[in-house]
A and B are shown apart, each in its own frame.
Chain A
């Protein structure tokens, strides 16, 4: 009985049922091989230049690597002890990190507020919105080097910015030569160039907020100020987290602007020296690759910790 039932089932077109699982496997195999052929160039770049690089960075941070002269020597934690000594004795890396923290706090706070403000303006019913959006975005798409050169000129004691200030009867400082104004000058420049990018992110998020919420609030007698603080800002929290996190990751790694405007040493008096500039100097001027990897890893840990803190305090789920 059972045998005949089994025989009654239809067979595959090319033979018995026993062949079927094998056929599926072969098709799967072809599909997998094809997929990996498509992915091959990307996986090469991802694995070689990113994943292997990360592992190498960690490994090298425990070695003395005198690039191109001698073979790497195992160094244990000496690179990290070296950094600890630097940090406790006001070394370059300590100064660089301190400048980065100051810079990040200033830039991220102001650029987030500016980005939200601009996005709220453009989210109104305005004529020529895409025109304004394009114009506002212009500083964000040009090269950091070219922008730094333009501002290097504008920030001169006899430059354009001091001229505008002189029209308001303000005596502008020698922005880039004064240790107390050099870093703030670069901060202002960077806020101006990166805020428009984050404005676009806010604009996209604003358009996702359901208008029914505002309608309901209006029925309840809320004014537009209350709606901004009770509806818009809380609902934008996930976007704010992205804006603050991406902004901090970028700001902590600032290099181009200070390097172009103030030179590799972070003049005046190391006031514009950043962690990235110290890492560059350690690796490519002093040829201490291992120490530079350890510095990069310390910077990474700081950025990672900051991102986690921001996630904890900004990206809070809001229920309505």
Chain B
């Protein structure tokens, strides 16, 4: 695991008394280099966290306090009024949240189901056209979303998929990224798993549903997380597809909310926190899967 630094340090580290492998050295003595390393790591960690923490604490401030100079780290008095205002009936926020939950929830469930089906065909079946469509899947991953944005909207419009949940969900219900991840995972499962069942006359559908699907849990977790994150954070597509305010997702609603309450940072920040919170909680629970998924797909830059 530790390669460069580990070996570089080995020059200075005392040789272990027992002959053990180079990779398993006893804890290193305190060195100036290591202290510097931890200072940089902690420093960057604070740099990553500080905007969130400061925004979180400021979302409990009053309007006067959020504008005060110098800014105070902690709210005094702390108030829930910002959240109360946002979640009250006077704003459409409860509706935006509901829309985002339906959108992200449906996209997550559909991606897990449909991408594992597609991945099963690509990864474990032989049929003409397989290579063509799999290559297309890989090619599509590299296409900028801007190129197809307008025709995608026109297609959605023709199919009656604008200004409704269908317009959000249908184009995103099974993404090339999910199919790619599922295919790569399903390829690695041994072929013998369903072979015996198939010879005994079990249909492909039953083999998929009863034998393979229960085994794809690690990939399901990754696909579910990335799909949820993608839909929850998506801004441009809901902005284009939805025209009535009550159909906005949380991201679009937030952007327009900011337009109406320009300098009321306390309210804007409370809104941002509502949008961030669910993902942060999910992220800290499943962070291992997130990172694993990003490392295998290498395509998270969107």
- Which residues from chain A sit less than 8 Å from chain B, CB to CB? 28, 31-32, 34-36, 38-39, 41-43, 45-46, 48-54, 56-57, 60, 67, 118, 120-126, 130, 132-147, 149-154, 156, 158-160, 163, 166, 192, 194, 196-198, 200-201, 203-204, 206-207, 209, 211, 214-215, 218, 223-224, 227-228, 231-232, 242, 246-247, 249-250, 252-253, 255-256, 259-260, 263, 275-276, 279-280, 283-284, 289, 292-293, 296-297, 299-300, 303, 307
Q: Which 9 A-B pairs have the closest CB atoms?
A: A224-B8, A124-B5, A56-B151, A143-B233, A42-B118, A53-B151, A38-B121, A246-B301, A53-B148
Which residues of B does A touch, CB under 8 Å?
1-11, 22-23, 28, 37-38, 40-41, 44-45, 47-49, 51-52, 54-55, 58, 67, 69-71, 114-115, 117-118, 120-122, 125-128, 130, 133, 136-137, 140, 142-156, 159, 170-171, 173-176, 179, 203-205, 208, 229, 232-233, 235-236, 240, 251-252, 254-255, 258-259, 265, 268-269, 271-273, 275-276, 279-280, 283-284, 287-288, 290-291, 294-295, 298-302
Bound Cα distance A256, B145 (Å): 13
Q: How many angstroms between the C-alpha atoms of A64 and B72 in the bound complex?
A: 55
Chain A residues whose C-beta falls within 8 Å of the C-beta of B22 in the assembled complex: 211, 215
Which residue of chain B has the shortest Cβ distance to A139 in the bound complex?
B48
Do A228 and B4 contact each other (CB < 8 Å), given the known contacts A142-B276, A150-B55? yes
Q: Which residues of B sit under 8 angstroms from A215, Cβ to Cβ?
A: 7, 22
> B147 to A154, Cβ gap below 8 A?
no
* Contact of A149 with B118 at beta-carbon distance under 8 Å, contacts A142-B280, A143-B232 already known: no
Knowing A41-B114, A42-B174 are in contact, say whether A135-B45 is a contact too (CB < 8 A): yes
CB-CB under 8 A from A242, the residues of chain B are 298
If A139-B48, A143-B279, A150-B51 touch, whether A46 touches B176 (CB-CB below 8 Å) is: yes
Q: Determine how close the nearest CB of chain B comes to the CB of A216; give it in whole angstroms.
A: 11
- The answer on a CB contact under 8 Å between A125 and B2 is yes
- For A154, the chain B residues whose CB sits under 8 A away are 51, 54-55
Q: In the assembly, what is the distance between CA of A302 and CA of B269, in Å?
A: 37
Min distance, Cβ B94 to any Cβ of chain A, angstroms: 18
14 A-B residue pairs with CB within 8 Å: A39-B121, A48-B159, A123-B2, A138-B52, A141-B229, A142-B279, A144-B233, A147-B272, A153-B269, A200-B295, A207-B1, A211-B7, A211-B23, A232-B4
Docked complex Cα distance between A133 and B41 (Å): 10
In the bound complex, CA of A146 to CA of B274 (Å): 9
Selected from A196, A223, A256, the residue in CB contact (under 8 A) with B235 is: A256
B171 to chain A, nearest CB (A): 5
Residues of A within 8 Å of B302, CB to CB, are 250
Do the beta carbons of B146 and A296 come within 8 Å of each other?
yes
Least Cβ distance of B74 to chain A in Å?
A: 14
Contact present for B275 and A204 (CB under 8 Å): no
| Closest beta carbon of chain B to A48's beta carbon, Å | 6
Residue of B2, B148, B205, B251 contacting most chain A CB atoms (<10 Å): B148
Which residues in B have their C-beta under 8 angstroms from that of A232? 4
Contact A249 B287 (CB under 8 A): no
A126 touches B155 (CB 8 A): no
